[in-house]
């Protein structure tokens, strides 16, 4: 029997991508199992969703630590305690240090709301509309110390439609994200060795 990679999801907010990963991993043949959800925002709606799905859910607020290295030490403690092998960032809005990221090289994924390498950073939908782009989308990539710059695992494209607002465009991209992330995690979880 093949084992499933023990996976943690880091969130900061509503957690629709997290919920899509949890749902996919309910299938026993899915190659990753979600063992832990951590939010740096204690009031994040995603924490409630994860707890309701029976997943161990923790708030680790960056505000409770003096600096980033202490915050990351708390994250590492929780990840190690749960014997995590793979991390998915899903709307996690803190930038992780090079030290943390290098420890997880090849085992930490992020989903970003643009067709990378275009539109790294924040406000992607607003910038795509301002530039008059006809296509937009989302990317799952490995996390490296440079923001939104790691190797790409999978992408999905959506059209920009005349009259789109930030809200309508982001809603269309989010549907694509929620489909793409479970596919991308499966691909990576199948490919990596157990820790
Ligand atoms: C998603 O659109 C995700 O791509 C984005 O935050 C949203 C989280 O939604 N992430 C980033 O912008 C990372 N820089 P969710 O909480 O419903 O998954």
Please tell me whether the overall predicted TM-score, pTM, comes out greater than 0.95 for this model. Answer: yes
Where do the domains of the chain lie? 5-191
In the reported structure, the alpha carbon of residue 140 is separated from the centroid of ligand 1 by a whole-number distance in angstroms of 11
Alpha helices in 8-165 (DSSP H): 16-24, 45-52, 68-81, 98-103, 124-130
Give the model's confidence band at 12: pLDDT under 50 very low, under 70 low, under 90 confident, else very high. Answer: very high
Mean pLDDT of 104-119: 98
Handedness of CA 42, 45, 51, 55 (dihedral sign): negative
* Å from CA of 91 to ligand 1 middle: 4
Give the closest residue (by CA) to ligand 1 atom 6.
91
Average pLDDT value over all residues in the chain? 97
Answer whether residue 1 shows pLDDT above 80.
no
Say if domain 5-191 classifies as CATH 2.60.120.10.
Answer: no
Residues labelled as active-site residues: 112
Question: Using one digit for the tens of pLDDT, what is the confidence trace for 48-83?
Answer: 999 999 999 999 999 999 999 999 999 999 999 999
Pairwise CA distance, residues 31 & 195, whole Å: 14
> How far is residue 148's CA from residue 155's CA, in Å, rounded to a whole number?
13
Asked whether the predicted pLDDT for residue 89 surpasses 60, the reply is yes
Pocket of ligand 1 (CB under 6 A): 11, 13-18, 46, 90-91, 111-113, 174, 177
Q: Is the pLDDT score of 42 beyond 70?
A: yes
Residue 2 is predicted with a pLDDT of 67
Ligand 1 atom showing the smallest separation from residue 112 Cα: 4
- For residue 92, the ligand 1 atom closest to its alpha carbon is 13
Testing ligand 1's pocket by substitution, the residue of 38, 49, 111, 170 carrying the most ligand atoms inside 8 A of its CB is 111
Q: What percent of the chain has pLDDT over 90?
A: 98
């Amino acid at each position: 029997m093949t084992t499933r990679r023990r996976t943690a999801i880091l969130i900061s907010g509503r957690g629709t991508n997290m919920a899509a990963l949890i749902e996919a991993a309910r299938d026993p043949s899915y190659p990753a199992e979600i063992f832990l959800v951590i939010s740096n925002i204690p009031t994040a709606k995603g924490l409630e969703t994860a707890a309701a799905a029976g997943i161990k859910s923790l708030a680790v607020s960056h505000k409770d630590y003096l600096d980033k290295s202490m915050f990351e030490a708390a994250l590492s403690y929780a990840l190690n305690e749960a014997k995590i092998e793979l991390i998915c960032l899903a709307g996690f809005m803190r930038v992780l240090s090079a030290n943390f990221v290098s420890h997880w090289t090849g085992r930490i994924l992020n989903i970003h709301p643009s067709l990378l390498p275009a539109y790294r950073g924040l406000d992607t939908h607003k910038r795509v509309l301002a530039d008059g782009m006809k296509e937009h989308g989302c990317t799952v990539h490995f996390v490296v110390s440079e923001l939104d710059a790691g190797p790409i695992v999978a992408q999905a494209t959506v059209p920009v439609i005349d009259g789109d607002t930030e809200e309508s465009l982001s809603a269309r991209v989010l549907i694509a994200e929620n489909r793409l992330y479970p596919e991308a995690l499966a691909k990576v979880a199948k490919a990596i060795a157990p820790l």
